[in-house]
């Protein structure tokens, strides 16, 4: 859909949104009295951040560049380099003066080209690190209850006569817009984070310096269709007010080229050919009739057509295979998700010329792939990519709390997604900038975008949660937002759906507006009514469910096909808390807060959630003490937390993987809630703020191995999951049971097991209900070998003869109570083992190193080492080197066994090799050199 095009004209001041009272219970929690803070539309703002290539600290270091003027030549587009910003409470001069060239900005703050107000203030050092302790409470929210000025300069080369436009989106929440002292649009028109605007400023620009200024209004996601945070983190005091996408100055000739895109139609299932349809809109901004030549290429096809346009006429030009045979592509290079094939892209390049002179151009990469998501007989949505069924194994993505965008930091997390064996990310609102989806295209990571819950976006259908019903202005903003996002995302092959509802589904009026915008944008992939399973009047059933849990449940919970168990498509679910590593905890909390963490389970935790439901770790800490024994100190607490998180996250993904091939009520998708957090958090994360990896991370990595042997908590059987494109045959599966002291109590092997490609085989191996002499707490070692005896996979479980007992009758929306815990306290009797450790580091290419670590159990005791953790730290041994990707980690070894692990990471200091730190459940802590 085209952006809104406004000619310069007088506009009425004012803001369209009425005051909306705070609402009541929300889907993920029942929370009252706390305004949901707004966050950004995932179009992340950057306050010019350049996340330091995380190096040894792995901590994003954001800074704002100088707001230097940019120069825009003919037939070009340039994003403003940054802004100077200041509160209107401190600026008393008239808007005409503030927005005119030469206005003094002494005492103003620098902001990046995409920056919230608070992001700029943090970069300027106005406030202390809001991710540490309770520093965020020190930031006065009152500073953000008035509008703020955003001001930037640019110059235009006057090579020839043409048109100049200001093209932007990402204003949160709304803004009056000025150019060279004149208001060109108002906050009534420029409203909503996702709406896109194109303002013709040709008649206002002048030789030399020009000025654009935005008077940005305060944001409230319960009143405005913008972005907000619910229970993910403590919401930022500015509610993400600012400009969080690029503001672009475009220079063209008399005819502009807009909305260029390719609609692909892939032959499925043969993949033998694809038909491409190219569309582009031409607009004649000149006073006379013109005949133009529109030409270019779409993949292998050459395109050309002459078009005559009357003054002011706008026309969509369509190239189809019928008139351009080259648009019928035999044997196309098909785009696949990671693990299923490659990720090739094609290019669309178009130019429009008037009298032989280029007037405007367009470039768009695109992929050829097909996405279908029919609802199966059990009412669950089953995705098919290029005709092949796919179990969606994903996680929820969070941007930075202050919507700062850094491409290196984003790419590091996407590499982690690949390392985890996940294939999908869900973005609930907080829709990231274009670069994010470019990265997803390149890495083959599927994305499910959609609107967020529990604020103004769901006010019309759930006003008790998010405010009052919409007015006409809200409906217009919502439809314009859908049009802009559809046009932005449609060419990305990684985007496989849009969720037009989250916890609630839109009503008929809202849905019709969305669908109209999607049709106009040639949206081809499935539109999902809601993430919660609620249907809509037009689209119908959702095929998804949002049954939780969101807080602690035992590992066996995931195997039961009710509530959040492994059946159908669960759009957001996990066992809640995810305690970071001790390294991260010491960076984010004070010594007193660290004591409270393990000593006072009922104490509110600022770094968990603003929600009363999730404000403490009471459920989690009770389970930790009940299953593993009461912690003795902080180190013991964190050590037990890593075991608990590893076993729980592993069970969640293993249950969904195994059940994907069930003949009744199969699992079709699961979104772990969440991949990461936008700040220093104690819950809902596989990756922490500093890119450190705890037990949850390696539990997920283990579960999602391409060829994997696993245990079923429900039926005690051993299954093999093959996520590869080729079958595996002649496999041997073995299970051995041990007491914690290493005494072997049971051993059995089955041979000649075959597993189909993308298949699951449940073997005849079943762990016996009783084994003579087996301790109450015991270890189960599963191994998978090939016909030569080579070990292909190993998976170690710590189990109990006493099961966790769930009380399903008392299930709440966020968890099911556990009335009796499995007894895993026997693990505390395992002796400490001093492993033999050798390590070496070498630079493999510029900026990248590889560290190889070999661990050997010396056999000084017959007890194994359980969940051994290997970390790379700085040369002085004090700081983890992050990000890092290990071939394996959190491993278990029996006497005489050895394993070699390989890690890839950045070369931080070529002159000082890092050190290797080994710890874990019962591996004696040691740090050794790696060079």
Decide: 23 and 464 in contact? Cβ < 8 Å: yes
Which sign, positive or negative, has the C-alpha torsion 700, 706, 708, 713? positive
Number of Cβ within 10 Å of residue 382's Cβ equals 22
Provide DSSP, 729-795: EEEEEEEEEE-TTS-EEEEEEEEEEEE-TTEEEEEEEE--S--TT--SEEEEEEEEE-TT--EEEEE
Q: Is 723 a catalytic residue?
A: no
Number of Cβ within 10 Å of residue 742's Cβ equals 15
Burial class (CB in 10 A: 0-12, 13-18, 19+), 770: exposed
Cα–Cα distance for residue pair 248/80, rounded to 1 Å? 6
Decide: 458 and 502 in contact? Cβ < 8 Å: yes
Task: Give the closest residue to 304 by CA, choosing from 313, 316, 317.
Answer: 317
Residue with tokens 């400009």: 243
Q: Give me the half-sphere count of Cα atoms (radius 13 Å) on the Cβ side of residue 521.
A: 27
Please identify which of the residues 246, 465, 563, 572 carries the catalytic annotation: 572
Q: Give me the half-sphere count of Cα atoms (radius 13 Å) on the Cβ side of residue 616.
A: 13
Please identify which of the residues 458, 503, 692, 871 carries the catalytic annotation: 503
Cα–Cα distance for residue pair 177/170, rounded to 1 Å? 13
The torsion angles phi and psi of 36, rounded to 5 degrees, stand at -70, 125
Decide: 901 and 886 in contact? Cβ < 8 Å: yes
Residue with tokens 């910003």: 85
- Bridge partners, 527 (sequence order): 498
Between the two ends of the chain, the Cα-to-Cα distance in Å is 57
Q: Is 572 a catalytic residue?
A: yes
Asked if the bond preceding 173 is cis, omega within 30° of 0, the reply is yes
Helix (H, G, I), strand (E, B) or coil at 929: strand
Cα–Cα distance for residue pair 58/76, rounded to 1 Å? 37
Q: Which are the catalytic amino acids?
A: 503, 572
């Amino acid at each position: 859909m085209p952006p809104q095009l406004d000619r310069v004209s007088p506009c009425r001041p004012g803001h369209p949104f009425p005051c909306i009272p705070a609402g009541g219970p929300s889907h993920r929690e029942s929370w009252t009295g706390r305004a949901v803070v707004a966050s950004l539309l995932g179009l992340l703002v950057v306050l010019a951040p350049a996340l330091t290539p995380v190096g040894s600290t792995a901590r994003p270091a954001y800074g704002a560049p100088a707001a230097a003027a940019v120069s825009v030549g003919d037939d070009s587009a340039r994003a403003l380099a940054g802004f100077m910003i200041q509160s209107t409470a401190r600026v008393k001069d008239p808007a005409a003066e503030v927005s005119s060239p030469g206005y003094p900005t002494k005492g103003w703050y620098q902001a990046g080209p995409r920056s919230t107000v608070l992001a700029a203030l943090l970069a300027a050092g106005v406030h202390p690190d809001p991710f540490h302790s309770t520093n965020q409470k020190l930031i006065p929210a009152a500073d953000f209850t008035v509008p703020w000025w955003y001001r930037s300069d640019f110059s235009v080369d006057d090579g020839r006569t043409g048109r100049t436009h200001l093209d932007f989106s990402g204003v949160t929440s709304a803004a009056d817009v000025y150019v060279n002292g004149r208001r060109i649009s108002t906050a009534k028109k420029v409203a909503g984070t996702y709406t896109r605007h194109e303002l013709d400023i040709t008649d206002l620009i002048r030789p030399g310096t020009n000025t654009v200024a935005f008077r940005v209004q305060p944001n409230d996601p319960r009143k405005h269709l913008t972005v907000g945070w619910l229970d993910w983190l403590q919401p930022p005091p500015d509610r993400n007010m600012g400009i969080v996408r690029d503001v672009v100055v475009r220079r063209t000739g008399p005819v502009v080229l807009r909305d260029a895109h390719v609609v692909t139609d892939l032959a499925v299932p043969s993949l033998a050919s694809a038909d491409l349809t190219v569309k582009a809109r031409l607009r004649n901004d000149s006073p006379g009739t013109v005949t133009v030549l529109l030409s270019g290429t779409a993949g292998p096809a050459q395109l050309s057509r002459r078009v005559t346009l009357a003054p002011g006429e706008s026309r969509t030009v369509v190239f189809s295979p019928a008139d351009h045979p080259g648009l019928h592509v035999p044997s196309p290079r098909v785009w696949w998700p990671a693990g299923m094939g490659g990720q090739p892209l094609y290019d669309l390049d178009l130019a429009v010329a008037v009298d032989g002179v280029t007037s405007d151009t367009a470039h768009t990469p695109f992929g050829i792939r097909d996405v279908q998501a029919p609802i199966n007989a059990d009412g669950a949505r089953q995705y098919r990519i290029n005709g092949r069924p796919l179990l969606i194994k994903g996680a929820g993505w969070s941007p930075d709390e202050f919507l700062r965008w850094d491409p290196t930091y984003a790419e590091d997390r996407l590499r982690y997604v690949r390392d985890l064996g996940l294939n999908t990310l869900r973005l609930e609102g907080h829709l990231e900038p274009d670069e994010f989806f470019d990265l997803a295209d390149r890495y083959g990571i599927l994305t499910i975008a959609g609107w967020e819950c529990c604020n103004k976006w769901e006010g019309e259908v759930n006003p008790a949660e998010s405010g009052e019903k919409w007015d006409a202005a809200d409906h217009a903003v919502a439809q314009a937002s859908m049009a802009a996002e559809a046009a932005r995302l449609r060419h990305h092959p990684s985007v496989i759906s849009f969720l037009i509802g989250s916890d609630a589904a839109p009503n008929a009026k809202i849905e019709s507006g969305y669908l109209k915008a999607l049709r106009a944008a040639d949206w081809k992939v499935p539109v999902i009514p809601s993430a919660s399973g609620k249907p809509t009047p037009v689209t119908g059933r959702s095929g998804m469910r949002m049954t939780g849990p969101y807080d602690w449940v035992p590992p066996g919970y995931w195997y039961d096909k009710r509530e959040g168990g492994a059946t159908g498509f669960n759009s957001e679910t996990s066992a809640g808390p995810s305690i970071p590593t001790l390294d991260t905890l010491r960076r984010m909390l004070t010594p007193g807060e660290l004591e409270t963490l393990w000593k006072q389970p009922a104490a509110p935790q600022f770094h968990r959630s603003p929600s009363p439901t999730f404000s403490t770790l009471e459920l989690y800490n009770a389970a930790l003490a009940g299953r593993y024994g009461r912690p003795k100190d902080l180190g013991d607490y964190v050590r037990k937390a890593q075991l608990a998180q590893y076993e729980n996250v592993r069970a969640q993904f293993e249950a969904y993987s195994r059940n994907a091939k069930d003949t009744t009520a199969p699992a079709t998708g699961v979104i772990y809630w969440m991949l990461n957090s936008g700040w220093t958090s104690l819950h809902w994360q596989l990756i922490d703020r500093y890119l450190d990896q705890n037990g949850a991370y390696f539990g997920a990595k283990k579960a999602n191995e391409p060829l994997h042997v696993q245990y079923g908590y429900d039926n005690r059987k051993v299954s093999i999951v093959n996520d590869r494109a080729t079958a595996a045959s002649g496999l041997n599966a073995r299970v051995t049971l041990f007491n914690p002291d290493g005494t072997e109590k049971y051993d059995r092997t089955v041979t000649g097991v075959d597993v189909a490609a993308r298949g699951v085989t449940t073997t005849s191996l079943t762990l016996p209900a009783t084994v003579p002499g087996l301790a109450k707490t015991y270890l189960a070692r599963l191994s998978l070998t090939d016909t030569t005896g080579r070990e292909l996979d190993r998976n170690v479980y710590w189990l109990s003869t006493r099961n966790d007992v769930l009380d399903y009758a008392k299930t709440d929306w966020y968890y099911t109570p556990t009335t009796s815990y499995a007894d895993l306290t026997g693990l505390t009797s395992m002796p400490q083992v001093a492993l033999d450790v050798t390590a070496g580091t070498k630079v493999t290419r510029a900026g990248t190193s590889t560290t190889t670590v070999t661990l050997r159990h010396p056999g000084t005791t017959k007890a194994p080492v359980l969940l051994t953790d290997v970390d790379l730290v700085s040369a002085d041994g004090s700081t983890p080197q992050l990000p890092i990707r290990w071939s394996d980690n959190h491993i278990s070894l029996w006497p005489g066994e050895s394993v070699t692990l390989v890690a890839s990471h950045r070369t931080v200091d070529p002159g000082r090799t890092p050190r290797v730190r080994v710890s874990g459940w019962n591996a004696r802590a040691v740090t050794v050199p790696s060079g």
